[in-house]
């Protein structure tokens, strides 16, 4: 499998286990199955509501001693209600406590969107703080402090457009080391990838399989299915692979990390095996033609009349 490299020489396995939407009763088992079957990269976030269960799995697996903490890459993300400077490090410490870890490999600002501290998920415009009230650079400076304090090894962002990255980078010497964004054949984001590559920012692809297990409120009517796409399935047949494996391989082969979510033992194993074959030029050309700039996670749930957020992705 490919690895992503960081400036200090650290390396992250390209294929990791996603835990967004993994239910509390299932996520610990999923993480144990993953770690015991070769995954060395687990992607978490405070807002997924399941970090304490993920932490139980870490404690059990690392406690046994066959797999060492330092051989696994753990990412988590700062939720939108902890962007104020006094809230960043306490939120990180809560995540560390929940995950039963004393450091993270990577910590990301989850969205370029701020809520009031008491708001978990906004229902009205007044639940937000504007980026004038809590500038991203203020949050970022605390992320830098967290790194300096050794609480995290690397820092980055998620859901940032080129414009948002440029805005942040002009005010800091510490460029983000990662941008985690939605990426798959329907949303290939070539320009963002090129910008990140030029600026030494690694990229992680989320929702690589189309996140079909999102709640109905998050779904558009008649969303296109990635897993059922005929081109993807034709390529899968040709390689004796599953559609999921083609989608994961496509991201890995492109040089991004990719974090398919599964709580199913067979699919967790199958997804890691995506690294075991190569897509050829013809496959890549056919997949390139599938790009239609379609987003599953539109960010529209953060755009409310009367708040200052619109067109979060600048597209």
Contact residues: ligand A2P, CB under 6 A: 18, 207-213, 227, 242, 244, 260-264, 267, 270-271
What backbone phi and psi angles, to 5 degrees, belong to 115?
-110, 165
Least spacing, CB of residue 55 vs ligand A2P, in Å: 20
* Residues tagged active-site: 48
Picking from 300, 244, 252, the residue whose alpha carbon sits closest to that of residue 271 is 244
Of all residues in this chain, which one has the CB nearest to ligand A2P in the complex? 244
Closer by beta carbon to ligand A2P, 70 or else 216:
216
Least spacing, CB of residue 182 vs ligand A2P, in Å: 9
Closer by beta carbon to ligand A2P, 20 or else 115:
20
Least spacing, CB of residue 252 vs ligand A2P, in Å: 14
Is the separation of the CB atoms in 97 and 127 below 8 Å? Answer: no
**What is the distance between the terminal CA atoms of the chain, rounded to a whole angstrom?**
32
Length of the chain: 315
Per residue in 122-151, is it b (16+ CB within 10 Å) or e — as a string?
Answer: beeeebbbebeebbbebbbbbbeebbeeeb
Per residue in 69-101, is it b (16+ CB within 10 Å) or e — as a string?
Answer: eeebbbbbbbbbbbbbeebbbebbeebbebbbb
Least spacing, CB of residue 257 vs ligand A2P, in Å: 13
């Amino acid at each position: 499998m490919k690895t992503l490299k960081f400036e200090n020489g650290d390396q992250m396995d390209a294929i990791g286990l996603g835990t967004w939407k993994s239910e509390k009763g299932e996520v610990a088992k999923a993480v144990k199955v993953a770690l015991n079957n070769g995954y060395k990269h687990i992607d978490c976030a405070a807002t997924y509501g399941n970090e304490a269960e993920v932490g139980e799995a870490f404690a059990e697996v690392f406690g046994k001693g066959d797999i060492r903490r330092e051989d696994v890459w753990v990412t988590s993300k700062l939720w939108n209600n902890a962007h104020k400077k006094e809230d960043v490090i306490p939120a990180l410490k809560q995540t560390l406590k929940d995950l039963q870890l004393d450091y993270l490999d990577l910590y990301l600002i989850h969205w370029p969107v701020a809520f009031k501290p008491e708001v978990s998920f906004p229902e009205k415009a007044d639940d937000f703080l504007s980026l004038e009230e809590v500038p991203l650079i203020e949050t970022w400076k605390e992320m830098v402090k967290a790194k300096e304090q050794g609480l995290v090894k690397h820092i980055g962002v998620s859901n940032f457009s080129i414009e948002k990255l440029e805005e942040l980078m002009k005010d800091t010497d510490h460029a983000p080391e990662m941008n985690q964004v939605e990426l798959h054949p329907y949303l290939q984001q070539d320009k963002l990838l090129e910008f990140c590559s030029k600026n030494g920012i690694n990229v992680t692809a989320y929702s690589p399989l189309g996140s079909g297990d999102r709640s109905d409120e998050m779904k558009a009517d008649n969303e296109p299915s990635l897993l059922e796409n005929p081109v993807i399935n034709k390529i899968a047949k040709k390689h004796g692979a599953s559609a999921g494996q083609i989608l994961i391989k496509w991201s890995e082969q492109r040089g991004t990390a990719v974090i398919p979510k599964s709580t199913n033992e067979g699919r967790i194993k199958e997804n890691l095996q995506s690294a075991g074959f190569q897509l050829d030029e013809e496959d890549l050309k056919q997949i390139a033609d599938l790009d239609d700039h379609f987003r599953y996670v539109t960010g529209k749930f953060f755009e409310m009349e009367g708040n200052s957020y619109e067109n979060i992705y600048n597209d």
